[in-house]
Amino acid sequence: MISAKNSTTPGTQQPNDAQLEACPVCWETDSRQAPQTDFCSNQHKACANCVKRLAEQAIQDHSTLPCMICRKPINPEIALQSALKALKSINTCATGLKISDMQSTHWILYARDIDIDQTIELEGQEFTKRDCLVQAAKAMPTHIDAWAELGVSLTEGERVVIRGKSYDKARCFVKASSAARTASA
């Protein structure tokens, strides 16, 4: 027999069905509205909506995201990724992001979340992993990861068209390394 739920400290009875732990930011307790996201390595949680909002803010400000409970600095991209994952497990569309508002980081996180033969659905449109990476490179033409991961996703001979230009695997890597040079200059 495998005993489930053995990981909690003895004596602390965890509520089973109803997730009664309130989000430390907005005090939401309804996990259907806002699933709890594990984002801090000290097992601290907040609701995915709050994690997403604060992580996006931190990415925009180029700052780290302090844990809402222990203030430990967290990589906002990783926090955003787990928030999007939690929200997507309810419904992809529940992230509330319009395609037109999505930044390169969002596209990359979506791309990393699916395999090459999987798709995600946004506003009724299907996007493959590669489509997401193309969107990331379009949204920010100097994004190193977008070009590098696009290069990895292309097989020899395959091409993608971005902003009217055609790129094969090798040219994607050239774009990634020139973006890296620009970033370090």
- Contact residues toward Zn ion (CB under 5 A) are 23, 25-26, 28, 40, 42, 44, 47, 50, 67, 69-70, 72
Q: Which is nearer to Zn ion, 34 or 162 (CB)?
A: 34
Please provide the size of the chain in residues: 185
Q: Are 81 and 107 in contact (CB under 8 A)?
A: no
Q: Shortest approach of Zn ion to residue 24 CB, angstroms? A: 8
Closer residue to Zn ion, CB minimum distance, 66 or 141: 66
Query: Least separation, in Å, of the C-beta of 70 and Zn ion?
Result: 3
Nearer to Zn ion, 26 or 120 (CB): 26
**Helix/strand/coil for 74:** strand
CB of 6 to Zn ion, least distance (A): 23
Rounded distance between C-alpha atoms, residue 184 and residue 93, angstroms: 36
Give CA–CA dist 87/32, Å, rounded. Answer: 10
Question: Nearest Cα to 52, choosing from 26, 72, 22?
Answer: 26
The distance of closest approach from Cβ of residue 83 to Zn ion in the complex, given in angstroms and rounded to an integer, is: 10
- If we measure between CA atoms, which residue out of 133, 119, 45 comes closest to residue 86? 45
Q: Of 22 and 139, which has the nearer Cβ to Zn ion?
A: 22
